[in-house]
């Protein structure tokens, strides 16, 4: 529940805090159509983590804080801020954890590299296995499969 302030509440009357600090006022930026603002907001919000529900984006989360964070995203989009600027705004406050996809740099590269490494190792393993199988066939003894099976197993 959003708090309704009494009369004379000064809270953010001069605009959102990020606007107060930004050098460029929203008035100086060209007006962006609502449909585009909404689409961009959806796109950016889908990449930001709802901090009270861990695994959801603020686009998907019904939590109050997520809705308020999404409202900030929308305001900044309407003011012409880029995705990188908006993400940097949240990272400066919540840390990189707020991004659902870790940035591909440093230790994070492991997340991106490991699946590829696992795939390559798995492929090598399968290729090696198939080669040995195939290689076993020509010199397999004509007597039967029993000897071959034990040979392969012992192999």
Partner 1 sequence: MSWLRAALGALVAVPILALLLFGMGRDPRAIDSPLPGRPAPGFELARLEGTPTRGPLLDAAGAALPDSFSLRADSGRIVVLNFFASWCLACRAEHGPLGEAAERYRDSGVSFYGIAYQDRPEDALGWIRRMGGQVYPALVDPGSRTAIEYGLWGVPETFFLGRDGRVAYKHVGPVSRALLAQRLDALLEGEAAGGDAATSSPGWQRGAEAPGATPELGVP
Question: By C-alpha distance, which of 15, 66, 73, 69 is closest to 41?
Answer: 73
For the chain, give the secondary structure using H, E and C. CCCCCCCCCCCCCCCCHHHHHCCCCHHHCCCCCHHHHHHHHHHHHCCEECCCCCCCECCCCCCHHHHHHHHHHHHHHHCCCCHHHHHHHHHHHHCHHHECCCCCCHHHHHHHHHHHHHHHHHHHHHHHHHHHHHHHCCCCCCCCHHHHHHHHHHC
Query: Which lies closer to partner 1 via its Cβ, residue 88 or residue 130?
Result: 88
Q: How far is the CB of 39 from partner 1 (least distance, A)?
A: 22
Query: Which lies closer to partner 1 via its Cβ, residue 111 or residue 145?
Result: 111
Query: Which lies closer to partner 1 via its Cβ, residue 6 or residue 30?
Result: 6
- The binding site for partner 1 (CB under 8 A) comprises 1-6, 8-12, 16-18, 21-22, 51-52, 54, 64-65, 68-69, 71-72, 81, 85, 88-89, 91-95, 97
Query: Which lies closer to partner 1 via its Cβ, residue 1 or residue 27?
Result: 1
Query: Which lies closer to partner 1 via its Cβ, residue 42 or residue 67?
Result: 67
Q: How far is the CB of 70 from partner 1 (least distance, A)?
A: 11
Q: How far is the CB of 71 from partner 1 (least distance, A)?
A: 7
Distance CA 131, CA 98 (A): 47
Q: How far is the CB of 142 from partner 1 (least distance, A)?
A: 28
Q: How far is the CB of 6 from partner 1 (least distance, A)?
A: 5
């Amino acid at each position: 529940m959003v708090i309704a302030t009494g009369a004379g509440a000064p809270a953010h009357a001069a605009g959102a805090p990020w606007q107060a600090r930004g050098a460029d006022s929203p008035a100086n930026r060209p007006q962006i159509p609502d449909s585009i603002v909404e689409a961009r907001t959806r796109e950016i919000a889908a990449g930001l983590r709802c901090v009270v529900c861990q695994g959801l984006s603020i686009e998907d989360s019904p939590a109050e804080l997520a809705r308020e964070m999404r409202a900030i995203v929308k305001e900044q989009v309407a003011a012409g801020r880029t995705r990188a600027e908006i993400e940097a705004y949240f990272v400066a406050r919540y840390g990189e954890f707020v991004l659902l996809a870790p940035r591909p740099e440093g230790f994070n590269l492991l997340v991106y590299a490991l699946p590829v490494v696992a795939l390559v190792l798995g492929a090598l393993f399968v290729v090696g296995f198939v080669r040995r199988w195939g290689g076993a066939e020509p010199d397999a003894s004509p007597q039967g499969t029993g000897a071959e099976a034990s040979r392969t197993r012992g192999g």
